[in-house]
Structure 1
Amino acid sequence: MENEDDDPIIQEIDVFLAKSLAEKLYLFQYPIRPLSMTYDRVTHLSAKIKPKQQKVEVDVAINTVSPNYCRSKGEQIALNVDGACGDETSTFSTKLMDKQTFSSIQAASNTSRYAAAIFRKGELHVTPLHGLLQMRPSFSYLDKADTKHREREAANEAGDSSQDEVEDDVKQVTVRFSRPESEQARQRRVQSYEFLQKKQAEESWVHLHYYNIKDSRTELERQYLLCQNTNTSENTELMKSPSEYLEMLMPPCVEEETEKPVSPSNVLSMAQLRTLPLGDQIKILMKNVKVIPFANLMGLMAAGTESIAVMRCIQQVAMLVQGNWVVKSDVVYPKESSSPHSGVSAEVLCRGRDFVMWKFTQDRWVVRKEVATVTKLCQEDVKDFLEHMSVPRVNKGWEFMLPYDEDFVKKHPDVVQRQTMLWKGIQSKLEKVFSLSKEDITPKKSEVSSAQPKVIPGDQLVNIARKKAKEDHAQLEMNLKRKKEQSKLGSSSLTVLADVHIKEEPLSDDEAMDTSTCESINNGLVNGIHMDESSRDSVNGLITKGERELVSQELKEFVTAIFSKQYVLTMRELKRLFNLHLAGLPPGHLLFSGIPDKMLQETVLSAGCKQILVPFPPQSTATPDEQKVFALWSCGDAFDKLRQALLELFSKGHRMRRNHIQTQLSQEFGDGLSKQQLDKVLKDCCVCYGGMWYLKGTVQS
């Protein structure tokens, strides 16, 4: 009772539902007209409707004697629309623009929430609306004037042309058979503007009679807005709870959701994209952008995404062209697809596009005519290939759209080497399919722009390095022999040349970043030279004590830099990274003097690292030297103690589950251990495979 006193009932009103005009009542809105300026006093000339589409057109007279009316403009518009001669089909009968047409658009597709109400004698009568329309001026007469203008121009051109009879030329006609329409294509066609226009034109107009607001017929029709049966004795009282009654007044909008057009399949926001797995993210991005530098791709990834993971995924869906990543052809043209221009299969399109990509690995420029001649595809298909990755230049051809990414090539020589091997395989397939000659394979020197950086494949770089190493070793061997002859020491040659063998087999997904199995940098091989203990001492004897100190300093800087990024490394991985470091050094560098494994290991231990004794499984095929695991024990940040505790856990087993790691560390650090801290140290030191966590480099494939 207290709540009712706070909100007393002032008046009770009976509500009646009138259904006489339920299927015929429309609400017209005039959004470009203020409320004070109605059309009630304006003469309405005609009206018509298309009931199914709820399309209404109303012709309203214009006051041509008003001082605000420009008569000259009105005459000019009528002349442009109807011409000099008037007839029954003329838009303006008085040779003056004397009327204006209003055309409707639907303001709401679902009008179940809207009604018109009349309050009379203490009763509220409600009639549901059948349609809610907005009336706006129609300028279709301008289209008619434009059509007449084009007809006059065509007639003038026909009159000026020669009247001689000319025999029709025989033209070749290409006959194409249409394929069955897919569901996706049907949806696009139904939503197209052309289809909607055709559908609107199919329904015929129904002409109406307009009655003024004060007309007697209008008054009669207005009576139908009142409920005819107001006998309350026959009506039962509405027994509904407040929530049920509110739901009846405002039902959930279901129809509008089902009537929304289907979004295009290639539209996806970045927020939605980042909810997908990393591989799917990169595949969708590459399918849309086609070509992108690696630095820009990393900028599109979520914060904290590792570049190694992105590098592994990008190689699954793209190929390296001039230091940039270009989406693979089988991603652009799936197996079930075909050309929209010629109808050829996806396999043929992929071969043609691969040829274009391969040409861009050889040169900055490609000529479309040459591509069409080799691939035997139509000009439209070849143009699509070129537009994916290049831009046209006048009198030059098509130029690759992005500049040569020299930074990426320098930072990732292993990836470049792997991509070069993949391109070799693609080249051999293209040679067989298209019967390429040596002239087609070798780029013309005249076509190579001197302003652009030269694209040197990775295998050529390796061959150049091998040749240089052999030359340096030959000179070194000659100096050694001369020194022995002078000292009259008879001995056999101490050194034998050996080539550096590079693994060229296809890699697994887990080894997508590795392109060589550098088993050892000094286990019998020192920078390409096979050496025993005595010869190694001889080589080291050629450098001074000061140079040895510089070598130790350079080596320590390398070890410190690599462990500050990786935290945990096996001996095998450390030597692989050191070989890559050597490949980027200039010829004659001090580190080429030969670094034994023992010296490398001592440098690691002196740089603040410790060896972690990880119990590898008995079936492991790794050698004892490969099973050596080193970790940066202290780097001076707040996670040192947590990282050390994690490393000590792996001395009991080579793999662990996350919940076990979290339990062990929580016992030592208490409730102060947060999820973010645990994620940080796990990311620094470990990798996860199959739900188990391993120290970096200890996963046995």
Structure 2
Amino acid sequence: MNSIDLSFGNILLAKEMSSEPLELMLPPTDAISSVNFCPSSNNLLVTSWDKSVRCYDVNTNTIKWQYNHIVPVLDGCFPEKTKAFSSDIHGLIKYYDPVAGVERDLGSHEGGAKSIVYNTSTQQLFSGGWDSKLKVWDTRSKEPEISCSDLESKIFTIDCAVASHTLVIGTADKHVTIYDIRVMDTPVQKRESSIKYQTRCIRTYIDGKGYALASVEGRIAMEYFDTAPEVQAKKYAFKCHRATENNVETVYPVNSIAFNPVYGTFATGGCDGNVYFWDGQNRKKLYFLKHYPTSVSSMSFNSDGNILAVASSYTFEEGEKDHPPDQIYIHNINEIYLNRIATMTTKQVDVEINDNMDVDSQKSNKTTTTTTTTTKTTLDDDFVNNILLDDPLEGLENKKSNGNGVGSGGGGGDDDDDVLLQEIPVFLSQTLSNNLYLFQYPLRQPWRPYDMSKLEEFRIKPKQQKIEMDLSLDEDTFNPDSPLANNKFTLSSSTVLHRTNYCAGLMKYGELHLTPLQSVVQIRPQFDFYNQKAAEDKDKKKKDKDEEEEEQEQEKPAPVSFRKQNGRFNSNQPPNFIKMFEDNEQWIKVNYVHDKDEYNDSLFQTYQKLINTEKHDRIDFEMTEAEYFDMLCPKVSEEPGAKTNHLLDTVPLDTIHQMTWKDQIKNILINAQVVTFSKIVHLLRTKEYIEDYQIIEELENIAILIRGRWVVKSELVSKDGSIIAARDYLLLLFSKSEIVSRKELCDETNLTPEEARELFVKVSDINHKDRAWYLKKEPDEDFVSRYPLVVNKFERYFSDREQLIKKKVKDYKTPATKIVYPENYRAGKNAKEQLHYLLHNLFNKYGVCSMQLIKQHLVQELESKEANLLGNLNLDKELPTELSNIALVLHNSYVLKSSGDPNIDKYRNVVIDLFKNKLGLKKEEIQGAVKSVVGSEIPRNIFSVILSEFTTKGKNIYILKVAKK
């Protein structure tokens, strides 16, 4: 690795990804409109104005399949290997199954369908057209068009953020419309573009928190969805794809943005034929890729982020003219050499450092003063053309253009930036996790280890994690005349209650493979022969004394005493039982492998087990990065009674450690809900020593032992009787079976699938293959083997209470029937019934209604040509009466008293009471109040239904809707 440490900043060496990028064979014969990789392979979908849709295998540089439109194709997407979509200039949307070879027309727009995108979570296709319509398609349905929304201008570009369920649309009127794909009725935001020129391309961030917007004026805007002021302060814009020659600046449109799915950096391609790479988070320009023969019309990364496809195709920005042939270039990202320079070479050249900072966050075109510093460095002449500065984006524009379209850079770097030297994949292997032990020798110095060549026998008791080693004594130190003469000594182990989880790591082929350790044991010399000698002497003295004494007194009856069994006897095992269990486990002799022994196939096979062979691209972790960091570095609370988190209903661990040991156990269980005995002991922090039997006594009061795990009792985590009964029934099911399905719980309770899921996720994990749930954590086999009486006691717990639990569930299982009203109010048999249906339909449509809105609709219906019975009513009298029956007044407007669904109403009533006092509420306030009143958290789907009914989303706040007039 070569590097130079210069006083003015950091210099990066950027070599083109490949000296000769791969050019695809048989490219389209007309302009290339889009390129898109399939996420599951390196197959590239290419659409073109030559009316074709082609799939290239970039690994073999061949065309796998092709289908055609009758007019030029504008866009395409390739979400799965069995699904390809395309749209053309007449607005037709086509679906193609490459495996079956089936082609199908989904529908069409009234104008050209400019942009399409597929959402994998909902399996829906979104299309935007020049007819100003946004359409949603479901290919699984016979009638694929689900919805159609009218926007105010032509749609030029759309993209979908799967992580945040957000759809972003850029239109010709320089507006950006944002939808929540789960509720497509109305947009959640509509904002004016932060760039004053026409939008060309929009692409969402990998984390789903915002989007990058490209314009025809050579600018990129980095935006965020969250409207909070502190988040909006992060947005910015910067200039790019420009060149200045002879004091004349040429501005080029930015046609394409492509985010790397692994690193989160992004590339931009423009009509200048250049591609640049950027780090948006740190506001830095990374490197210049390549100058292409003509405009860059489209780009796409593969799912691994190691291949970039670039379409070099004239976009007619200068009208009809001769231009280089259209081509698709494939770059291998792994071939980038991008390292900091630390040593100087032999030739001297000049490098200009441009300190100009020009950020467009305020959309300002102010004139700035440029200061140039020239520093002499020793670099090769050929090397200079590839130098780029590690500078912030606030100044990255091409002040001077060289032959390749590369500017001289700008802005000073930060010497203190951390350098990413290498990324190492980490894999977890469990093959030997039950067999690996870490040996510690606390009484032995590292430079004076035991001589293992004198090892006579090595034995182990796996269940008790006990280890013994017999080593022979040196002849020089052996004293055969000693009464305690022994020609060997024994090393024995004691288990360490370690506070940290250890693992063994193996670095191979650039990958780190970790295997958790079964235990950490400390090895010390054992002196049992001293105890044996002392016991023998004691027995001999006692025997001699008994023989000398004569029994002269008459035998007296032995006194009889009765001793009450204490709590320890009831909760723990009798000492003789434990001793019997320990003695019953036989020692297992094992072979010791010396580090100088011959390396045979058996050892190699064992060694190979440290390498994980089952590699998963994505792991569903139990906590987020922030939660994991908080667990590693908990914030120290100043007050013992720190406020709990209403969302997670958990108490911080540092707060728990300030409580009594009994309260610690209780709060640990409430936080985790499912914990093993060893984990509870591990998390306890006490000044005094607590016996196991004391901990077990406390656990029996607040938790239930199920299959080797302690599960907190239901009454400690909920106040809702129906939830308590349902949770008890769920625990009953887990006591009978390792896996439980959500259907089993829903069939016997009145819980909705979402409510049932809320119970499952607290105590169990899901197996995605068979969609069944299994109890969290691995069974504590050590506890089960040590305390069989406790295990037997809780096996009887459910058998004794099964009928009672089922009875409680049955008592609460009242049919939660939802009242459904006909969409056509004329279905009412009389005038009052028609009025009742009409009012309900109005509230279902608007959520919040004013008297003026209601009367307007009544007038429209009275004047309608379709017959109804409303004219038979005295509406001045009947309308207020009917409204008082079905609705209540909320800040001079009306909302329904009931949604018609009892499962929703118990949460909805709490939210309505909150809005009686305030017009706006934060999410935390709502969830905290519901938790306090109902005793359980509000399910996400019910929360969304209630809040969308009569609120609008503001900046981190839900505001009561203003009734339409």
TM-score by length of 2: 0.22
Structure (1/2) with the larger helix percentage: 1
TM-score by length of 1: 0.29
Q: Which structure has the larger Rg over C-alpha atoms?
A: 1
Structure (1/2) with the larger strand percentage: 2
